[in-house]
Amino acid sequence: MFKNKGIAFKLVLFFTLSSALIFAAIFSYNYLVSRRMIEKGIEENSANLITTTTSRIEVLLTSTQKVPQNAAYLLENTNYDESELFKVIYAIVEKNPEIYGAAVAFEPYAFDKKKKYFAPYFYKNGGGISFKYLDRFYDYFRWDWYQIPRELEQPQWTEPYFGEGGGILMSSYAVPFFRVVDGTRKLTGVIVVDISLDELRDIVSSIKILKSGYGFLISKNGTFVTHPIKEYIMNETIFSVAEERNDAMLREAGRKMIQRQTGFSAKSVKSAVTGKSCIMTYVPIKSNGWSLGVLFPYDELMSDITNLNHIVIALGIIGLALLALAVVFIARSITKPLTQMANIAGRIGRGDLEVQVPDIRTRDEVGKLASALDYMKTSLKDYIRELTETTASRQRMESELKIARNIQMGILPKTFPPFPERTDFDIHALTLPAREVGGDFYDFFLIDKDHLCFVIGDASGKGIPAALFMAFTKTLIKAKASANLETGALMEQVNDELGKGNDADMFITVFCAILNTVTGELRYTNGGHNPPIVMRSGGDESYLDGPGELVVGIMEGSRYSTRSLVLKPGDGLFLYTDGVTEAMNEADEIFSTDHLLDVLISCRDKTVSDITACVGEAINDFCKDTPQYDDITMMALRYEGRR
């Protein structure tokens, strides 16, 4: 997906993303650690706070507990009458400012065998102390303060309740007392003291955590005893609040609280006052099984770390933006010359070598690229200049060669039939020049009316030297040929001429013959040339006698013989150079002398021009498109005689 985007884009994306990831990882770790530190701090602080608070509550409760406990001890171990009992109860109310009222309630008929209900009660009333009996209308046996310690045979704090007038929240501490009757310890009654919970409420409501954190107290049943929201007190339990909020976690925390456990809420608890998420810690009040809960508003606790985090995030974002800018800048500094050089390379590609490569002084990869580009341009320029020069010289040479070839071809007779007025013989020659200038030549001319001289040859080597050598040979032969001169002597003279100053050791194969057109006698000398084929009119084709003599021009003073042959009217002669028999096909096979003979047999009855054409076609068929490196030259002669 980023294939088409530039390097700058990729760099920015890569660096920004990876830096953001690293930043996020560091940030998260930092956040978690600092949060844990703060939570640990809360734990310690709350432990201190809660310990202080609970110990204040414990002091309040235990000091109250001691009063009825001592009284119970007194009632169990001394004998007393009604007035003494009254004095004790009165003293409890009078001497203990925190105690609102006190009663000693007896089991039915336990104090007085005639009285089912006997429970004297003293209580503070305005400035003084009032008294009454708790009677059958009140039926104290049915009340929790009496029944629960009686059934459990243990001192009990009652659930809180609203006192007289409804305004004061109170709780009672009730202690059962016993008497040993007939050896068994028997429950005799319950001593109860009532205390106001105002002081306890003041202790708990003094808990202030940051701005909105608060403490609350719940009873054994989970009922709110103190709470910043007044309506909660006595009306709601922590479980009814959990039910209303549909908060199972809060219910679970509440159960742990009433089971006298110490701990933290598993998850955040919503503040009843602000609705904010809070961490709730709880600790039991040992004396009465109530539980103190403290709510720590999470966001307020975390406000420092939250502020810090905001700053860190802001710094992080700014840093990332700066980094992105820096990457853009660096990427630009790389890609700008790169783009420039890509353009330059494009222009060089289109042939514009005059383009200026920017001068980049840095020694980095871009600088190297620029100097490489510059070097490439200079080298290309030099190369092209050299190439142009080479091409020009080669073209000149080629045109010179072409001229040479044209000259070479120009000196060969090309008009056919060459002697239209003569019917006593016919001659035709064909040359297929190779790509390079070769050394083949042929010639025929009438020495006089009755003597036709004809020559075919092949100079050694290729190119201009061969062409010149061949032209020189042709000129020599034509100049020296005469009816009185045997071909052997002619060849000796030519050989001597060519041999003079032949430092290059060049030579030429030459077959030279003079036909007496009257008699049909053919006198000939073969200077190292391929033997011609005699085509008898009866239909007998054969190569002319064995291998020839020494090639011409190589050795001065060589001797050449003259041989003769009589042609009958209708007989013919086929002459050729090695370009014919050594023509090659694709499979590197040569045309061969046998094949040549077969071809000539097949076209024996044709005219001389058709014979050369016939052989030319056969060579074409054999070689197809394989280029030939030697000139292919052939000449056909037919003697008709005078009729």
Nearer to another protein, 103 or 608 (CB): 103
* Residue 121: CB minimum distance to another protein, A: 5
Cis peptide before 417 (omega within 30 of 0): yes
Q: Should residue 607 be labelled a site residue for another protein when binding is judged by CB under 8 A? A: no
Closest to another protein by CB, 239 or 416: 239
Helix then strand then coil, % of the chain, to nearest 5 = 45, 25, 30
Residue 147 binds another protein (CB under 8 A): yes
- Measure the CA–CA gap between 277 and 269, rounded to whole angstroms: 6
Q: Which of 150/474 has CB closer to another protein?
A: 150
- Indicate the SS3 state at residue 171: strand
CA distances from 548 to 101, 454, 534 (A): 166, 17, 15
What residues have CB less than 8 Å from 226, skipping those under 6 apart? 197, 200, 201, 204, 205, 215, 216, 217, 233
C-beta of 104: minimal distance to another protein in Å? 12
CB of 236 to another protein, least distance (A): 6
- Rule CB under 8 A: is residue 9 a binding residue for another protein? no
Minimum distance, C-beta of residue 12 to another protein, in the bound complex (Å): 58
Which two structure tokens, joined as six digits, stand for 280?
């709730």
Using the rule CB under 8 A, is 31 a contact of another protein?
no
Q: How many residues belong to the chain?
A: 643
Q: Do the Cβ atoms of 363 and 371 come closer than 8 Å? A: no
Is 262 a binder of another protein (CB under 8 A)?
A: no
Q: Does 230 bind another protein (CB under 8 A)?
A: no
Position among 27, 90, 138, 543 found at the interface with another protein (CB under 8 A): 138
- By CB neighbour count within 10 A (0-12 exposed, 13-18 middle, 19+ buried), where does 374 fall? middle
Which one of 23, 117, 118, 145 is in contact with another protein (CB under 8 A)?
Answer: 145
To the nearest whole angstrom, how small is the minimum distance from the Cβ of residue 75 to another protein? 19
312 binds another protein (CB under 8 A): no
Task: Find the part of the chain contacting another protein (CB under 8 A) among 215-223, 261-269, 476-484, 545-553.
Answer: 215-223
The reply to whether 617 sits near another protein by the rule CB under 8 A is no
- 121 near another protein, rule: CB under 8 A: yes
Crossing angle between the packed helical segments 487-499 and 463-480, to the nearest 10 degrees: 140
Contact 454, 442 (CB under 8 A): yes
Angle at 444 between CA 438 and CA 447, to 5 degrees: 140
Backbone angles phi and psi of 291, in degrees to 5: -140, 135
Q: Does 365 bind another protein (CB under 8 A)?
A: no
Q: Is 198 in the site for another protein (CB under 8 A)?
A: no
235 binds another protein (CB under 8 A): yes
Residue 400 in contact with another protein, rule: CB under 8 A = no
Closest CB to another protein among residues 148, 409: 148
DSSP summary character for residue 160: P
Q: Which two tokens stand for residue 551?
A: 């090639």
Residue 131 Cβ vs another protein, minimum distance, rounded to whole Å: 11
Residue 244 structure tokens: 């209303």
| Residue 132 vs 211, nearer CB to another protein | 132
Take residue 346 and report the two structure tokens written for it.
């494009």
Q: Which of 98, 243, 247, 521 binds another protein (CB under 8 A)?
A: 243
Tokens standing for 1? 């997906």
Instruction: Match 């709880």 to its residue by tokens.
Output: 282
Burial call 263-277: b when 16+ CB within 10 Å, e when fewer? ebbeebbbbbebebb
Of 408, 488, 402, 481, nearest in space to 440 by CA: 408
Is the Cβ–Cβ distance between 304 and 282 less than 8 Å?
A: no
* Residue 255 CB, nearest approach to another protein (Å): 5
Q: Which of 67, 72, 103, 366 binds another protein (CB under 8 A)?
A: 103
Which range of residues in 43-51, 64-72, 229-237, 604-612 is near another protein by CB under 8 A? 229-237
In this complex, which beta carbon is closest to another protein, that of residue 282 or of residue 507?
282
Q: Are 140 and 33 in contact (CB under 8 A)?
A: no
Piece of the chain touching another protein by CB under 8 A; list 58-66, 239-247, 523-531, 607-615: 239-247
Of 8, 20, 74, 148, the residue at the interface with another protein (CB under 8 A) is 148
User: Whole-angstrom distance between the N-terminal and C-terminal Cα of the chain?
Assistant: 98
Among 46, 156, 265, 287, the residue binding another protein under the rule CB under 8 A is 156
* Count of residues touching another protein (by CB under 8 A): 46
Q: What is the Cα–Cα distance from 470 to 209, expressed in whole angstroms?
A: 126
Return all residues near 287 (Cβ < 8 A) that are at least 6 apart.
57, 58, 61, 62, 65, 157
x-marked contacts with another protein along 157-196 as a string, rule CB under 8 A: -xx-xxxxxx-x-x-----------------------x--
Scanning 56-64, 248-256, 345-353, 487-495 for contacts with another protein by CB under 8 A, the matching segment is 248-256
Does residue number 90 form part of the binding site for another protein (CB under 8 A)?
A: no
Which positions lie near another protein, rule CB under 8 A? 101, 103, 121, 123, 132, 134, 137-138, 141-145, 147-148, 151-152, 156, 158-159, 161-166, 168, 170, 194, 220-223, 234-240, 243-244, 251, 254-255, 258
